[in-house]
Structures are given as structure tokens and as C-alpha cells.
């Protein structure tokens, strides 16, 4: 029944990745019913294969593009959008994690992110200068415990004004991709990146592994043509 439903949905133009998520949600629901002893049979989706999905392009901003974006954000009427963006670029935080920061989450050169997508708290180090800038921003613009007010629409306006080309479905997430990409290009460790991003699985973080300079250098040195000296 689900396979037939899935076939009808794919024919209407629904993306395979969306249907794979629906399948995983329903499979998880059956697994929970089995655990609670409400379902006595085998999980009906356990043997149904998910669609193979071509991995999408992983785009990020180079340093010149980041400089252009920061310059534009600095002129925004929204007093928070620049600092929220800097948090994302400095820590790899998701926009919602950065925008919802409270002053108590900034201590001793660390930002602690809580209520994350993976449900696990994580701490990311920042420079002393940036910590001071965040605390100064809180003193001037903070409300209650919160450092920032909503700034999403202002970020969207800045991206539009700079004419930066983003992949489909990306907006604020380009900041997180940019952090991770530059981290790896500058010699960062993939396991450390997994912890910084808060990925539950290393598989998700491995999307950035190909950017490692060690990886690229090995490709130059260890291919058969190079070894033959041709």
C-alpha cells in the first residue's frame, strides 16, 4: 500500500528525498508500536528500499563573498542580523540556534548550544574579541536574557541585494556550510567537525571530507599516473 502511495506521489512531482523522509517516519512509527507491543507483526516497511537520491551540490561562500555579505549586513536597519550571521560563520550554528541565543550560553570563551536538532548540547569555542562583541551587543540591544531579535527576513534581503547565487533550498544554511567547508579546507579534523556541527552521524559530516587539503594532496601524489612519473 505504501509503495503504491509512493508511486502516485512521485508521479505528481514530489521529490524522492521527501518520500524517503515520509517512509522513514512511518517505519519509525511502526518500530515504536512494536516496542510498545501494540503491533505484533513485522514492520511492513522493513524490506522496502528507499529511493536512491543524487547528492546535491554542497555550495559555500568563499572569503571574498563572505566579506561582501558582511559589508552588506552591516548596513542593515536590523541591528541583530550581522551578529547572528557572525555567530553562524564562527561556530557552524544553525540560524535558529544562533538567533535564539541567551546571554547565559556564552561563558569562558565558549558558546553552548542547547535545544539542538540532535537533542544534544554542544559547546563551540570563540575568540575573546568575539565574546566581548557579543556581550557588548547584549548590553546595547539584548531583551531579557536573549541576545537577538528575529533577523531572518533581513538576512534574506541582504542576500538578494548582494546577488550571491545560492543552491536551491539554501538561505541561512549557507553560513553553516561555509563554516564547515573552510574548517576542512584549512586542515580541520573531520571528527572535530562532527562535534562542532552536532551531527548525530559521521556520515553527514563526511560530505565535507573531500575539501581537506590532505585529501587533495593525496589525490595528486597517489594516483597511478603520478606514481609512474608520466
| Domain annotation covers residue 226 | no
Give the separation between CA 157 and CA 72, rounded to whole angstroms.
10
Q: Tell me the pLDDT of the chain (230 aa) as tens digits.
A: 999 999 999 999 998 888 999 999 999 999 999 999 999 999 999 999 998 876 665 789 999 999 999 999 999 999 999 999 999 999 999 999 999 999 999 999 999 998 777 677 899 999 999 999 999 999 999 989 999 999 999 999 999 999 888 877 789 999 999 999 999 989 899 999 999 999 888 888 888 888 887 766 766 676 665 666 65
| Domain annotation covers residue 83 | yes
Residue 30 CA, distance from chain mean position: 29
Say if residue 163 is in the same domain as residue 105.
yes
The number of distinct structural domains making up the chain is 2
- Assign residue 190 the CATH number of its domain: 1.10.443.10
Q: Give me the active site residues, please.
A: 94, 117, 173, 176, 199, 208
Please provide the DSSP assignment of 12-77 as one string.
Answer: TT--HHHHHHHHHHHHHHHHHHHHTTS--S--TTTTPPPPP-PPPP-----HHHHHHHHHHHTT-S
The boundaries of the domain holding residue 16 are: 1-54
pTM score > 0.85 for this model? no
Say if residue 126 is in the same domain as residue 190.
yes
Say if residue 42 is in the same domain as residue 76.
no
Say if residue 46 is in the same domain as residue 67.
no
Amino acid at each position: 500500500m505504501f509503495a503504491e502511495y509512493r508511486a502516485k506521489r512521485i508521479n505528481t512531482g514530489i521529490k524522492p528525498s521527501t518520500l524517503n523522509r515520509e517512509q522513514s517516519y512511518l517505519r519509525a512509527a511502526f518500530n515504536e508500536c512494536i516496542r510498545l507491543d501494540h503491533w505484533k507483526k513485522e514492520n511492513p516497511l522493513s524490506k522496502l528500499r528507499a529511493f536512491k537520491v543524487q547528492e546535491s551540490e554542497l555550495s559555500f561562500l568563499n572569503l571574498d563573498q563572505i566579506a561582501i555579505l558582511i559589508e552588506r549586513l552591516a548596513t542593515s536597519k536590523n541591528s541583530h542580523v550581522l551578529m547572528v550571521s557572525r555567530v553562524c560563520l564562527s561556530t557552524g550554528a544553525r540560524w535558529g540556534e544562533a538567533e535564539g541565543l541567551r546571554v547565559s550560553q556564552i561563558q569562558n570563551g565558549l558558546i553552548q548550544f542547547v535545544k539542538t536538532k540532535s537533542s544534544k548540547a554542544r559547546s563551540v569555542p570563540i575568540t575573546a574579541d568575539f565574546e566581548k562583541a557579543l556581550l557588548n551587543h547584549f548590553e546595547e540591544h539584548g531583551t531579557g536574557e536573549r541576545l537577538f531579535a528575529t533577523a531572518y527576513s533581513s538576512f534574506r534581503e541582504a542576500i538578494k541585494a548582494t546577488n550571491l547565487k545560492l543552491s536551491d533550498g539554501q538561505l541561512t544554511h549557507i553560513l553553516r556550510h561555509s563554516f564547515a567547508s573552510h574548517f576542512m579546507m584549512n586542515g580541520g579534523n573531520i571528527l572535530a567537525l562532527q562535534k562542532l556541527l552536532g551531527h548525530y552521524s559521521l556520515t553527514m559530516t563526511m560530505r565535507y571530507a573531500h575539501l581537506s587539503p590532505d585529501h587533495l594532496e593525496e589525490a595528486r601524489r597517489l594516483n597511478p599516473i603520478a606514481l609512474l612519473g608520466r
